[in-house]
Structure 1
C-alpha cells in the first residue's frame, strides 16, 4: 500500500527564539563588518593624507634647495666683484640686487615687495643666481650693442647676465625676436618696448653711469635667476596658508610671477648660518633680523610646518601638541601636523 505524507504535517518554521538568535548574529556580523570597513577607510585616509604631506614637504625642500644652492653663483663662481647693472631700476627691484644675492625677512608684519600678502609672523627670503644653459660669446660689438653667440632660444625682455670672470654685466635683452628659437645673437640696446628696459647700451657701469665695456670671445651669457619664498593665504577655499614663490623664470616682462606652490603649509621659519671670523665655516645660526652682513651667510636652515588638508577630516584622535621652531604649540583642531627641517649650503661659500 502506498503511503502519502501531508506537507502540512512535516513543514515547520523558525521559532521566535531562533529568529532572535539569527537576527542577533546578523547584527553582530554587520557591526563587525561596518567597524572593519570604517577602520580600513580611516586608515586609508590617514595614510593617503600623510603620504601627500610627505610628498609636498619633499617637493618644497627640493625646490628651495635648488635655488638656495645657486644663490650668488655664476660660471665663474660668485656674482660679486665688478658687477655692472644697466637695467632701469637697478637695486630698487629685489630681483636685481646682485649685491645681496640672498636676503631674509624675519617675523613679517608688513609684507615686503618680494612676498606679497605674506602671513604675519612668518619668515620669507629671496635668492639670486643664474639659470639656464650657458651661451658662449663668439664676438661682441659694444657700439652696436650686439653679442654674437651660439644658437639659443632666449626671448626679448629676458634679464641676462654676461661675464668673463673679471667683469659681470646685467642687462635686458632687446632683440632679436627669435620666433623660431634659433637666434645666434643677443642685443642689449635701449629703446625696446620691454619693461623696465636698459638705461644705456653700455655694459661697464651701473645706471645711470654709461661706461663702455667689450666682452671677448669665450665670455658666457646666462639668464638671471631670482626667486622668493614665503607663506601667504591660499587661493583655494578653506585651505589656510600655502607656500608661495615669486620667480623671474621664463619671464620677459621685467617682473616676477608669483605662484602658489603647496597648500596647507602653515608656517616657515628660517635661520642663516653665518661666518663671523672669515674662515669659511659657520659660527652661528641667526634669524634674519640678527644678520648684519649677508655676504657672510654660508647656509640656510629652513623649517616648514605642514598640515593635512581640512577635506581629509579629523585624522587625529585629539588636538595635537607639537614642537615647531623650538616652541611647543597646541593645535586648535584635530588635523595632523608635521614639521620638516633642512640645512642647505650655498654653493662655493663653504669649504
Structure 2
C-alpha cells in the first residue's frame, strides 16, 4: 500500500476545485444585463401600452358622454310642448312672466326664455350678465347657453285666478321633475295654443295639490292675472289657456283644457380648468328648488376646447331651410334685445367640435389640431392622447314642418 504525502493530497484537492475566470464572469454579467434590459423594455412597453389604452378609453368615454348630452339638450331647443318657439312668436302666443330679461342687455340673461339658444366666443363676443363674473373660461372657446322646457310634463286639471295670483291644480303633483314642496322653481305652462313661463311653488304632493304663482314677487312680473283680456302690455296670464277653461270656451276640436306643466331649465356649458388644472367642460344651471343659478360644476373632464357653428336660415322670410353655417358672432351680427332673439330663432342646427384629452401622460407627440376649421394648439405639452370629436345636431323643433 502506497502512502501519499499531505502535499500530494492538497494538490489533488486544488485541481478538482477549478474556479471561474474573469472573462467568464464578465460574459455572465453581460448576459444577465441583457436579460434585465429586455425585461425592463418589455415592462416599459407594457406600461406605455396600458397608459395609451387607458387614455384612449377615457377620451372615448368622455367624448361619447359629452356628445350624447349635447345632442339630447340641443334637440330640445324650441320645444314648448304642443308647439315650437318659432310658431309661438309668429302667433304672438308666448308670454315670459319673469323679470330681468331687459332687452337692452346684450345677450340677455338667465330668465330670457324668449331666446332658447345662444352662444358667444370667449374673448370676442359679449358674455350675458349671469356669466360675466365667471373666471377662467378659456379664451377662443365657445360658450353654449340653453333655456329649454323639460321633456317630462304633468297635466293641469284646473286653473283659477285671483288678484296677482294664479293657481294650477296638477294631475301628478308627486312627479319627480316637479319642485319640492314649498320650493320655488321656473315652470312652463302650455297647450296647443300658447305658452307661459313663470315661477311657481308646489304646495303638496297629494291629490288636489296645486302650483301657485304669486304675483309681484321676483322673478315674476306681470299684470293682475285676474284680468281677462290682453288689451295692454304686458299681457297677464295667457287668456288663450286660462279663459278657454274658465269661461267654457272650448279649444278647437277639444272641449278640455289640454294644458300641461313642464320644468323650465337653464344650461350654460363652457371650458375652464378644473382643480387639477386640466381644461374640462363645466355646467351651470339653476339650484335645486330655486330660481337662482348654482356655482359651475365640472361636468366632463378633459374637454380642452369647444367650437360651435350654427346652421342659419338667411332667407328674408324664414323658410325653415339651412342656408349657411355661422359663428356665434356672425349670428349676433350686432343685434340686441328682441332683434337678437329673432336672429337666434333662425338657427336650425348646431355643429359641435371638441378637442378631448386623456387625464395622464401617454407619450404622444403634441401637435396642432383642427376643430371645426379652427387651429387649436395645446399649451401644456404633456404628451396626453387627444382626439377631435365633431357632430351636427338638428334642432328638430325648428325644422320645416316638424
TM-score tier (shorter): 0.7 to 0.9
> For 1:150, which of 158, 171, 186 is the aligned residue?
171
Q: 1:302 aligns with which of 324, 349, 352?
A: 352
Q: Which runs of 5+ in 2 are unaligned?
A: 2-8, 246-256, 334-342
Of the three residues 110, 117, 128, the one matched with 1:95 is 110
Aligned pair partner of 1:161 in 188, 200, 219? 188
Compute the displacement of 1:170 (Å).
1.2
**In the alignment, does 2:250 pair up with 1:227?**
no
Determine whether 1:202 maps to 2:225.
yes
Q: Which has the larger displacement, 5-14 or 259-268? A: 5-14
Give the match for residue 275 of structure 2.
236
Please say if 1:121 is aligned against 2:121. no
Report the Cα offset of residue 269 of structure 1.
Answer: 1.4
Name the counterpart of 2:27: 21
Partner residue of 2:361? 313
2:339 aligned residue:
none
CA contact 1:114–1:246 (8 Å) conserved in 2? no
Q: Find the aligned partners of 1:201 and 1:151 in 2 and give their Cα distance.
A: 27
Gaps of 5+ in 1: none
Q: Quote the residue 1:268 is aligned against.
A: 306
Q: Which one has a bigger Cα radius of gyration? A: 2
User: Is the CA contact (8 Å cut-off) linking 2:372 and 2:390 kept in structure 1?
Assistant: no
Q: Is the 8 A contact 1:88 1:207 kept in 2?
A: no
What RMSD, in angstroms, separates the aligned Cα atoms of the two structures?
Answer: 3.0
After superposition, where does 1:54-73 map in structure 2 within 5 Å? Answer: 54-73=60-79
Secondary structure class of the residue paired with 1:96: coil
Aligned to 2:198: 171
| Number of equivalenced pairs | 339
Which residue number in structure 2 is paired with residue 188 of structure 1?
Answer: 213
Most deviating of 19-28 and 258-267: 258-267
Cα separation, 2, equivalents of 1:67 and 1:308: 25
Q: Name the structure where strand makes up a greater proportion of residues.
A: 1
SS at structure 1 position matched to 2:214: coil
- Residue range with higher mean Cα deviation, 29-38 or 77-86: 77-86
Q: Say whether the 8 Å CA contact 2:350–2:394 is kept in structure 1.
A: yes
The answer on whether the counterparts of 1:88 and 1:198 sit within 8 Å (CA) in structure 2 is yes
CA distance in 2, matches of 1:222, 1:168: 11
How far has the Cα of 1:295 moved from its partner? 1.4
For 1:328 and 1:188, locate their aligned partners in 2 and report how far apart those are by CA, in whole Å: 49
